[in-house]
Amino acid sequence: MNEYKTISVTSIMTPAPLETASRTDNVDTIIRIMTVKNKSSVVILNELKHPEGIITERDIVRRLVFESKDAKLTQAAEIMSSPLISLNDDAHIYDAAMVMSKNSIRRLPIIKDNVLLGIVTATDLARILYQEKRTDSNLHAIARGSLPRNKKFFIWNFMEELCDRYEEARSKDLTTVFKIQDFKSTELPIFTQDKPHIFQTLKEYEQDKGFIRIEDDTVTVTSKGLLKAKESRHDWD
């Protein structure tokens, strides 16, 4: 049996509470939620508080901005993607990958008895490939097709690995300065980059965010980066 058919979606999803809104909320309110919370989607609930739809950045562009609608006069129900494509909590990540690929979506709410339990994203699927170092060709293809091939995904993985290494080194009284080429994230199969490009990406991130310090071929996390890690380990934007 394919190994991915034994891994539950609940093991990789972002669990509730998630950002939600009512179908009668105006889109201006939802845009503010997404901006303040730095989220790319909001799940829309009906009068019974059951998940009914989802609003993503793409929905806002296509159904609000492109149609020149007023965000303050437009309700969520008018632009949300509905009916909501979702999975039950007993599904596996292979199921999630197939549903997301078939429907060309990047976010998949996980629901049980009309209650929102969490959400799985295309990035979550790619992370499990990276973390487990597995090689299923079908899931790799799905993840490649779903993920934007940009620097953001590489940074997310690199920073999480850096913080994990930092915590382990501190617990063992070891050095907290690490060789960049020793990071597994630089070998991520879904996001293949040559070494000069990876180094340049990290240099740009160092200058832009100040979360890391690079000297020659080594890297360490700064105090600013450590504070950010305590705030949110999964959001390095």
Amino acid at 214: I
Q: How much of the chain is in helix, strand and coil states, percent to nearest 5? A: 50, 20, 30
- Could you give the CA distance from residue 166 to residue 164 in angstroms, rounded to a whole number? 5
pLDDT of residue 232: 74
Residue 14 has, within 13 A of its CA and on its CB side, a CA count of 19
pLDDT of residue 142: 52
Amino acid at 66: F
pLDDT of residue 165: 93
Q: Contact, 12 vs 124, CB < 8 A? A: yes
pTM above 0.75, yes or no: no
Q: Name residue 213's beta-bridge partners.
A: 220
Full strand arrangement of the beta sheet holding 178-179:
178-179, 218-221, 212-215
Write down how long the chain is.
237
- Could you give the CA distance from residue 53 to residue 43 in angstroms, rounded to a whole number? 6
- Where the chain has pLDDT below 70, the residues are 1-5, 129-150, 153, 188-194, 234
